[in-house]
Structure 1
Amino acid sequence: MESREPEILDVVGVGFGPSNLSLAVALEESPDPVTSAFFERQPSLGWHRGMLLPSAKMQVSFLKDLATFRNPASNFSFISYLHDVGRLTRFVNNQDFFPTRREFHDYLEWAESKLTQPVTYNSEVTAIGPAPAAGPGAADRVRVTVRDAAGDSRQVDARNVVISTGLVPRMPVGLEPDEFVWHSSQFLHNFRRRNSGELKRVAVVGGGQSAAEIVRFLYDSLPDAKVSAIVPSYGYSIADDTPFANQVFDPGAVDSYYHGSQRSKDAVWHYHKNTNYSVVDDEVIRGLYERAYEEDFSKGDRLEFLNLARVVDVKRVGSETRITVHSLVSEESYDLDVDVLVCATGYDPMDPAEILGELDAYCVHDTQGRHRVCRDYRLVTTPELDCGIYLQGGTEHTHGLASSLLSNIAVRSGEIAHSIAARRSGAHEKGINE
């Protein structure tokens, strides 16, 4: 550990995916000078690299980029990116609001390359705690301990910390990922390590967008393999992307949700969860059905859908992976031998307590044990701690469906940047907006 006094910054960002990248852009464009540093444990910027399938498209408009909804004139917009790389005219001629995920990832890397805000990769935040107080009163900054790839540690003090460590991959109960059981977040990485000729039978469990896209990809990429889709519902459910429903992702909807009653919050989740969770775009559903129809016409058996089914056990038998599938139709179980099982079973929200460590003791929780969060995404803290702890994710219970999604990323980051600048100038008193 270095013995010199840690440097003091206005803000430290923990994690550097799209959310904190958007925050860095907002800080870059802010009229208020703010000192910052961002730390990311990955070796480079990466956003769902394991799911950058060639044909996979974004599920939000390109206008919901890192900056446009906050600043339409931003030099960090998707339009600026297209102009800079010489593809604006062709993109317009393509007449599509939804770029591929691969193109959007390229845009994220382009935006990161334009930043002057310092970002350090291969650096994991291992501890956050109150910095030793310079005098009496509440601690006004935190001490962040960062370990690099060589195992060396250093400390940075910050008046504010923004936590954005991303979603956590979820596996079916009792299953762990290994060489033959993959979570969709690692799909492409694992697929490229295998000789495609080795894969003669693959099963994909899940009923959402990722599951359907992986089934389509495997069917198209492995002409000699059989693909089994294990779907928990009777079939894939369509994502509601109609205009009125999409208003639930509008920036103004965050205010309605935050200040609404618990009854109204429950209603939003009940009526509009199908805008994003466990649903599939119409184009993907229809494409898979067309493939299944062609298989039926050709008397083929390369694509099968096991509906109303669950994976209840997986074990290795010889050179194969044996899946035990339980049918909700017959209430019976049967075995299915495959080379690989892909679990496209979604993600759990970020748990701030895991990274907060001892700092969590200074955070106020509600009656259900969840963190209390101000409207500006700042955790409510006890009087002993007077620095800002902000969350980008893990606030679905206070801020609604878009809390961890790209839909509101530019406005959310702008609000956090504004709050940090206001606190720096002393205009933002502790407790406001609680």
Structure 2
Amino acid sequence: MDDTLDLIGIGIGPFNLSLAALAHDTGKLRCAFFDEHDAFSWHPGMLLPDASMQTYVLQDLVTTVAPRSEFSFINYLVDQKKIFRFLATEQTIISRDEFSDYLSWASQRIDGLYFSHAVEQISFDDRLQRFEVRSGKDAWYSRHICLGTGHAAWIPEPFRAALGDRCFHAAEVELRQPDFTDQRVIVVGGGQSGADIVLNALQGHWGEPAHLSWLSRRPNFQPLDESVFTNEYFTPQYVDYFYTLEREIREREIKTQKLPSDGISYHTLEAIYRELYHRFDVLHQPRNVTLLPHRSLKKLEATPEGFELEALHGLEQQAEHFSADCVILATGYRPTLPDYLKPLLPRIHTDGKNHLPLNPDFNLRWDGPESNRIYAVNAGIHSHGSAEGQLTLTAWRSARIINHLLETPFYDLDPGPSLIQWWRKDHGAAGN
């Protein structure tokens, strides 16, 4: 394309999909969004039969800022002719399968989404004051861009030598379809992904293991803290206040908010516990499941017989050794700077840890014209708080970006008064 768009987004996950939906609804922005996959795909390796969302059904792509949008979850239910059956279930938390289907449904109705378009390079033309986005032989131009390619599955470097058909990251489990039948299986990681894999393994989704172990460095298998006052962390008022804090204080607060953002859903923990109770205390089956909290994995080595693991017991400070035929590493995700950014990296301010310091409206600090902006979604946990990587404020963040692009409050984002006064009485924070 030779003409210049208003916005190009790279990556079509839930965050950029929300941005595309709300941009479409304005009727004021010419946008294009690119993704390397041939169709919409949201963590396909973790779409397990028994896996649920951790967010409320109305925390979708648009509803919290644009409830009349055609891209709402409610409209999806109506369009799919299942609204009355859904209401009969009285669900407030839905399955990952249904949320993924909703996202795919929305992606088929939003203009300007280009799949099978891997972005290879982004550069900036100072003379024409526009970004050039290259995909294959094509070049596209835009006044602004938004980075939304997400975080990469992360495996600690010492364990990477053991990777293979029987040892891999949790993000791949449903794609690989491993056979656990009569195998010694160890799941490493005490977050939601690890819990989902343990639950589905207990239910025989990949065959019945000879022995299943769940190892976590956390002190116990801890629930997501989703109590009402804790959820105030996931409000626009708190995010705006958090941004004003000193960096050292922000880092400290993020660490204290581990369970509100990265605990295990209570219903998942309850399902695992009931499964274990029924199996061992009702049916009196052999106890072939071992739960191992407070263990930090230190070594993982492949052997001709399988894998040898060494963990440090967090309370006794002693090493423990385990053997396995299959190891699933539910070790989370980390931010990365994609290769396509290389031409721009000398002009982008970072802190040396792949953190992209963001301005309040989610645009990066860079050495370029203020009239040309680089936005980023799911990149601001260190500036905007633990809500940044969650789906809770997806629509609000997208609307914030669009208002900034349009330089007018197209979406009403006045948060109203906060229930909690986070700031000092004389702080003068918005929402007081």
Fold match (TM-score > 0.5): yes
Counterpart of 2:383 in structure 1 is 398
Structure 2 counterparts to residues 307-326 of structure 1, below 5 A = 307-326=293-312
Q: Which amino acid in 2 is paired with 1:16?
A: I
Change (3 A) 1:421 1:364: same
Counterpart of 2:416 in structure 1 is none
In structure 2, what is the Cα distance between the partners aligned to 1:336 and 1:267?
34
* Contact 1:351/1:394 (8 A) holds in 2: no
In structure 2, what is the Cα distance between the partners aligned to 1:368 and 1:203?
31
SS at match of 1:321: strand
Counterpart of 2:170 in structure 1 is 184
Change (3 A) 1:368 1:211: closer
* Contact 1:130/1:385 (8 A) holds in 2: no
Matched-pair identity in %: 26
Deviation at 1:369, TM superposition (A): 8.2
* Contact 2:122/2:344 (8 A) holds in 1: yes
* Structure 2 length-normalised TM: 0.86
In structure 2, what is the Cα distance between the partners aligned to 1:356 and 1:257?
28
Q: Which amino acid in 1 is paired with 2:7?
A: V
More off after superposition, 295-304 vs 78-87: 295-304
In structure 1, what is the Cα distance between the partners aligned to 2:75 and 2:25?
15
Counterpart of 1:292 in structure 2 is 276
Change (3 A) 1:59 1:383: closer
Change (3 A) 1:373 1:353: farther
Deviation at 1:328, TM superposition (A): 3.3
CA RMSD of the aligned region, Å?
A: 2.4
More off after superposition, 107-116 vs 336-345: 336-345
In structure 2, what is the Cα distance between the partners aligned to 1:386 and 1:317?
57
Unaligned runs of 5+ in 2: 411-432
In structure 2, what is the Cα distance between the partners aligned to 1:368 and 1:318?
37
Deviation at 1:362, TM superposition (A): 2.1
Change (3 A) 1:300 1:334: same
Counterpart of 2:232 in structure 1 is 247
More off after superposition, 231-240 vs 12-21: 231-240
Counterpart of 1:150 in structure 2 is none
In structure 2, what is the Cα distance between the partners aligned to 1:208 and 1:367?
27
Structure 2 counterparts to residues 39-118 of structure 1, below 5 A = 39-116=34-111, 118=112
Is 1:130 equivalent to 2:115 in the alignment?
A: no
The one-character-per-residue Cα deviations of 1:219-268 (angstroms, maximum 9, x if unpaired) are: 11133532111121332011110011011111222211122344653454
In structure 1, what is the Cα distance between the partners aligned to 2:330 and 2:351?
32
* Structure 1 length-normalised TM: 0.86
In structure 2, what is the Cα distance between the partners aligned to 1:341 and 1:46?
25
Is 1:120 equivalent to 2:103 in the alignment?
A: no
The one-character-per-residue Cα deviations of 1:123-143 (angstroms, maximum 9, x if unpaired) are: 221211112514xxxxx2111
Q: Which amino acid in 2 is paired with 1:184?
A: A
More off after superposition, 162-171 vs 281-290: 281-290
Is 1:207 equivalent to 2:190 in the alignment?
A: yes
Deviation at 1:344, TM superposition (A): 0.7
In structure 1, what is the Cα distance between the partners aligned to 2:116 and 2:305?
36
Q: Which amino acid in 1 is paired with 2:184?
A: R
In structure 1, what is the Cα distance between the partners aligned to 2:398 and 2:77?
22
Deviation at 1:195, TM superposition (A): 4.2
In structure 2, what is the Cα distance between the partners aligned to 1:224 and 1:399?
42
Counterpart of 1:168 in structure 2 is 152
Structure 2 counterparts to residues 272-291 of structure 1, below 5 A = 272-277=257-262, 279-291=263-275
In structure 1, what is the Cα distance between the partners aligned to 2:378 and 2:291?
34
Q: Which amino acid in 2 is paired with 1:13?
A: G
Counterpart of 1:22 in structure 2 is 18
More off after superposition, 358-367 vs 382-391: 358-367
SS at match of 1:128: strand
Counterpart of 1:429 in structure 2 is none
Change (3 A) 1:285 1:370: closer
* Contact 2:158/2:299 (8 A) holds in 1: yes
In structure 1, what is the Cα distance between the partners aligned to 2:88 and 2:376?
39
Change (3 A) 1:364 1:321: closer
Change (3 A) 1:202 1:381: same
Deviation at 1:293, TM superposition (A): 3.5
Is 1:337 equivalent to 2:350 in the alignment?
A: no
More off after superposition, 92-101 vs 124-133: 124-133
In structure 1, what is the Cα distance between the partners aligned to 2:85 and 2:56?
17
Change (3 A) 1:252 1:355: farther
In structure 1, what is the Cα distance between the partners aligned to 2:247 and 2:190?
28
* Contact 1:202/1:227 (8 A) holds in 2: yes
Deviation at 1:334, TM superposition (A): 4.4
* Contact 1:172/1:343 (8 A) holds in 2: no
Deviation at 1:398, TM superposition (A): 1.4
* Contact 2:337/2:354 (8 A) holds in 1: no
In structure 1, what is the Cα distance between the partners aligned to 2:6 and 2:333?
31
Counterpart of 1:407 in structure 2 is 392
Q: Which amino acid in 2 is paired with 1:172?
A: P
Counterpart of 1:143 in structure 2 is 132
More off after superposition, 333-342 vs 409-418: 333-342
Deviation at 1:295, TM superposition (A): 4.6
In structure 1, what is the Cα distance between the partners aligned to 2:157 and 2:349?
31
Q: Which amino acid in 2 is paired with 1:157?
A: Y
* Contact 1:131/1:157 (8 A) holds in 2: no
The one-character-per-residue Cα deviations of 1:84-120 (angstroms, maximum 9, x if unpaired) are: 111111111111210100000000011011112x222
* Contact 1:17/1:164 (8 A) holds in 2: yes
* Contact 1:171/1:343 (8 A) holds in 2: yes
Counterpart of 1:381 in structure 2 is 366
In structure 2, what is the Cα distance between the partners aligned to 1:383 and 1:52?
41
Q: Which amino acid in 1 is paired with 2:153?
A: P
In structure 1, what is the Cα distance between the partners aligned to 2:255 and 2:311?
29
The one-character-per-residue Cα deviations of 1:246-305 (angstroms, maximum 9, x if unpaired) are: 11111222211122344653454244331012x212222222223333454325122111
In structure 2, what is the Cα distance between the partners aligned to 1:343 and 1:57?
20
* Contact 1:62/1:97 (8 A) holds in 2: yes
Change (3 A) 1:7 1:339: farther
